[in-house]
């Protein structure tokens, strides 16, 4: 079986690159770093080989709903493909 990650694969985020968070306010940096260890699905892979991930949730009340979270990309070395370990 191929070891290449593909769109739709389940992956664990094992790190966050400094270039992604270094300009963020401290509270947003902490929020992004808290995603490390999360398991999610690769949403897309761009033409530069970056893997796009999305974290979020939908909150609903009686009158409305809204989505909060982040969508961002990382290189392959920040991900571990799940379910295919040897």
pLDDT for the residue 56: 67
pLDDT for the residue 86: 44
pLDDT for the residue 1: 41
pTM above 0.85, yes or no: no
- φ/ψ of 31, rounded to 5, equals -60, -45
From the list 13, 30, 27, 25, the residue with the least C-alpha distance to 72 is 13
Each residue's pLDDT expressed in tens, for the chain with a length of 86 residues: 456 889 999 999 999 999 999 999 999 899 889 889 999 889 899 999 999 998 766 667 788 776 666 788 999 999 999 975 44
Name residues whose C-beta falls within 8 Å of residue 24's C-beta, 6 or more positions apart in sequence: 32
C-alpha–C-alpha distance, residues 52 and 71, integer Å: 7
């Amino acid at each position: 079986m191929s070891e290449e990650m593909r769109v739709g694969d389940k992956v664990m985020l094992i790190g966050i690159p400094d270039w992604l968070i270094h300009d963020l306010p401290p509270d947003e940096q902490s929020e992004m770093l808290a995603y490390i260890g999360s398991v999610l699905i690769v949403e897309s892979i761009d033409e530069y080989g970056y893997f796009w991930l999305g974290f979020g949730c939908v909150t609903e009340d009686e009158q409305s709903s809204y989505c909060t979270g982040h969508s961002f990309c990382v290189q392959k070395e920040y991900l571990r493909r799940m379910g295919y370990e040897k």
